[in-house]
Structure 1
Amino acid sequence: MARHSQHLKPESWLVAAGRTIEAGAPLNVPPIPASNFLIGQGRSYARNDATPTWEAVEEIVGGLEGGRAVAFASGMAAIAAVFDQLPAGAQVVLPDDCYQGVTGLAMAGEARGRWSVRRLALTDTEGWQQACAVADLVWLESPSNPLLVVADLPAICAAPRKPGTIVAVDNTFATSLNQQPLEFGATLSIQSATKFIGGHSDLLAGVVTTRDEQLWHDLRRSRELTGATPGAFEAFLAARGARTLALRLERAQHNAMELAQRLSHHPLVSCVRYPGLPTHPTHAIACRVLKGFGTIISFDLRGDATFADAVCRNVSLIRHATSLGAVESTMERRAAIAGQEHLPPTLLRLSVGIEDVDDLWADLDGAIRRAAQ
């Protein structure tokens, strides 16, 4: 793989990292669908030793995050590998607003007696600082999904912790360009590469990054033993998608801010959640912690779930679909998702893409007004 100066800016690193340097080698690391390699050159079996395609993704993301990365078959595979590091009877602390996949995995483990789970509001900074001193896994998600609460990560990650405590941050919504949790003192930074890294809704992958050398080896060992390895083509697509992350994020964040401001004045919208708005409860923390406010907006409609579902059906440029972080804008009613029933029934989560912002607004505003007729 290529070696680069530590002085490269993130935008340059995204383009330059994860490439070969040998004369005559392909400029881009190709998809290598090999399960085994000729013995004698340090690599024999892909599940144990990885492939150059996986390593390209790991170099790109690891360099952005300031650590060493391990790539997995999906975001949930990466998350499961983190939980796999816990001892029997561990104490786990989760945010009250959290991705339902993490909640489901944590609760299933608690039901089997593997660990105990406690929930905390992300705004309870003192509570999280105290949790670092007693818990085995402190799991943070900032901004959170889907309420977009921004935690005071510098204060929490700097808190004293008992030996062996893992402070993990799901960095998917922020991306490595807006936030580097390891710089704050987190043990791990996790991203679903399915989202912003890939950026085109065409792959499943996950990445965990750490500065703890032993933990890095343990995570690779978990990947090896569980077989949670990324596919060759998926890894290739993730590396290719990462090249344009900075451009995509810049455009989509601009669109998101504009749409959030327009939605905040819409007569049929009762609440807009976007960290870039001064009205957001954690706006002050976001201004201090984040380099950008992201591309996700959550907003509540005035009406009921039937009205909100009709809005989702009425959009055309915006796609009525789940997931986020891609070039296309997507929207869904989150309380309709299993495990999210506790959310406001009219809350729509909008992942803003790179389309023309006026076209997006015409589609969204038109869908709301048609549903109200």
Structure 2
Amino acid sequence: MKFSTKAIHAGQEPDPSTGAIMTPIFQTSTYAQTGLGQHKGFEYSRSGNPTRTALEDCIAALENAKYGLAFASGLAAEQGVLSLLKTGDHMVSCDDLYGGTYRIFEKVLGRYQIETSYVAAANVEDYEKAIRPNTKLIWLETPTNPLLRLVDIKAIAEIAHRHNLLLVVDNTFSSPYFQQPLELGADIVLHSTTKYINGHSDVVGGAIALNDEEAYQAIKFYQNAAGGIPGPFDSWLTLRGIKTLAVRMRQHESNAFAVAKFLSEHPRVEKVYYPGLPSHPDHELAKRQMKGFGGMVSFSFKGTQEDINRIVSRLEIITFAESLGGIESLLCHPASMTHGSIPREIREARGLTDTLLRLSVGIEDSEDILLDLQRALD
């Protein structure tokens, strides 16, 4: 099946008991058993639920993976992957990454003497230089959050596998529609399904996809043991959103192109970050590695942090809020919102300034989005 067909049908056969086309919401905590060890594949909904299974199978299919696992949030999915580590381990990560991920690495894993080394996202050779004898995995976001740098997945996969390391790629910004890291050599793909996969800003969730059975069984054990699972209604909402993923991503990208072009020509805008622009330093890599450039645009404006309230007060269509990937356009100030957990000196050293704004371009009419930005910036 092609991508759009998978999004609608993978893991979502008509219900055998009723013929219902839509996967039912199996709103139950437990399941009847006829005897010791005799059940219909489900025992307790923390361990497994038919609605969640449909979601996991669909995400695996979209990433061309054998296995999928769904979690209660993107960070819960990250913890599932990080459960593969133990005290004394080390990992290498790109330096431009989501603030919540940085917080887990430094404030949670750090308590267990698991260290992380950060390297400039696009500098391939630096990843290998940062590897130590106790390194266990390499962690990437591409495009990165919020500066939208690209990391060469294939090149980093070669480095990781040469050193017998796992390569984990957070694919949230691209979605599986625009990028499939497993096809480029990654071992584990991660998503905050809150974002593009669900796409309607009405549920929080996370997921991973992978091919290695040993890693799958280990993370699945953690998923059940720790219990950070999505409920059946959240799973159903995410499945509902997935069905339109392909058409939404095409519109997100179309609108983002228009926004990036507009911003690059606006006198109040200092710099635009969008991999679809030929001026982007990773534009050629994006063309090779991705099937499209996505719906995220970041930009820095000429002014001070105090000007943000003036900009926000003029917005009528775009909403000033955290998160991304929904059908509506959302504007975010990373330094005080999504990346506020990163110390200022580290943020600024990485290029994340107080005048940087991140725009998740929605699927509204592009002319309305541009007019709203014009009003706000003027």
Deviation at residue 308 of structure 1 after TM alignment: 2.5
**Amino acid paired to 2:88:** G
If the length of structure 1 is used for normalisation, what is the TM-score? Answer: 0.93
Match runs of 1:1-373 below 5 Å: 8-21=1-14, 22=16, 24-39=18-33, 40=38, 41-48=40-47, 50-67=48-65, 68-131=67-130, 134=133, 135-159=135-159, 161=161, 165-337=165-337, 338-340=340-342, 341=344, 342=347, 343-369=352-378
The list of structure 1 runs, each at least 4 consecutive aligned residues, that deviate by more than 6 angstroms after superposition, is none
Larger mean CA deviation between 259-268 and 215-224 belongs to 215-224
Whole-angstrom distance in 2 between the partners of 1:264 and 1:347: 14
For structure 2, the residue ranges without an aligned partner over 5 or more in a row are: none
**Amino acid paired to 1:43:** F
**Amino acid paired to 1:97:** D
Whole-angstrom distance in 1 between the partners of 2:377 and 2:358: 14
Secondary structure of residue in 2 paired with 1:219:
helix
Larger mean CA deviation between 306-315 and 235-244 belongs to 306-315
Cα 1:273–1:15, aligned 2, differ >3 Å: closer, same or farther? Answer: same
Cα 1:243–1:98, aligned 2, differ >3 Å: closer, same or farther? Answer: same
Q: Kindly provide the CA deviation profile for residues 65-88 of structure 1, in whole angstroms up to 9, marking residues without a partner as x.
A: 111110000100000111111022
Contact 1:313–1:320 (8 Å) recurs in 2: no
Secondary structure of residue in 1 paired with 2:101:
helix
Cα 1:109–1:165, aligned 2, differ >3 Å: closer, same or farther? Answer: farther
Secondary structure of residue in 1 paired with 2:148:
coil
Q: Kindly provide the CA deviation profile for residues 181-203 of structure 1, in whole angstroms up to 9, marking residues without a partner as x.
A: 11111110000000011111000
Q: How many residues are paired up?
A: 361
Cα 1:302–1:30, aligned 2, differ >3 Å: closer, same or farther? Answer: same
Whole-angstrom distance in 2 between the partners of 1:74 and 1:113: 22
Q: Kindly provide the CA deviation profile for residues 299-345 of structure 1, in whole angstroms up to 9, marking residues without a partner as x.
A: 00001001123212321100111100010000011111222542211
Whole-angstrom distance in 1 between the partners of 2:237 and 2:86: 35
Cα 1:133–1:114, aligned 2, differ >3 Å: closer, same or farther? Answer: closer
Cα 1:112–1:23, aligned 2, differ >3 Å: closer, same or farther? Answer: closer
Whole-angstrom distance in 2 between the partners of 1:246 and 1:136: 34
Contact 1:272–1:300 (8 Å) recurs in 2: yes
Cα 1:151–1:160, aligned 2, differ >3 Å: closer, same or farther? Answer: closer
Deviation at residue 240 of structure 1 after TM alignment: 0.3
Contact 1:131–1:138 (8 Å) recurs in 2: no
Whole-angstrom distance in 2 between the partners of 1:160 and 1:198: 31
Whole-angstrom distance in 1 between the partners of 2:21 and 2:132: 47
Q: Kindly provide the CA deviation profile for residues 12-55 of structure 1, in whole angstroms up to 9, marking residues without a partner as x.
A: 1111112134373311111112111112223211112x111101
Contact 2:144–2:150 (8 Å) recurs in 1: yes
Contact 1:318–1:329 (8 Å) recurs in 2: yes
Whole-angstrom distance in 2 between the partners of 1:122 and 1:162: 19
Calculate the aligned-residue CA RMSD, in Å: 1.5
Whole-angstrom distance in 2 between the partners of 1:64 and 1:110: 30
Secondary structure of residue in 2 paired with 1:336:
coil
Whole-angstrom distance in 2 between the partners of 1:315 and 1:274: 21
Secondary structure of residue in 1 paired with 2:328:
coil
Secondary structure of residue in 1 paired with 2:303:
coil
Secondary structure of residue in 2 paired with 1:24:
coil
Secondary structure of residue in 2 paired with 1:207:
strand
Deviation at residue 128 of structure 1 after TM alignment: 2.0
Cα 1:268–1:178, aligned 2, differ >3 Å: closer, same or farther? Answer: same
Contact 2:92–2:131 (8 Å) recurs in 1: no
Whole-angstrom distance in 2 between the partners of 1:209 and 1:130: 28
Deviation at residue 129 of structure 1 after TM alignment: 4.1
Contact 1:309–1:333 (8 Å) recurs in 2: no
Secondary structure of residue in 1 paired with 2:155:
helix
Contact 1:15–1:243 (8 Å) recurs in 2: yes
Whole-angstrom distance in 1 between the partners of 2:168 and 2:209: 10
Whole-angstrom distance in 1 between the partners of 2:193 and 2:109: 27
Contact 2:87–2:114 (8 Å) recurs in 1: yes
Cα 1:334–1:55, aligned 2, differ >3 Å: closer, same or farther? Answer: same
Contact 2:201–2:326 (8 Å) recurs in 1: yes
Deviation at residue 219 of structure 1 after TM alignment: 1.1
For structure 1, the residue ranges without an aligned partner over 5 or more in a row are: 1-7
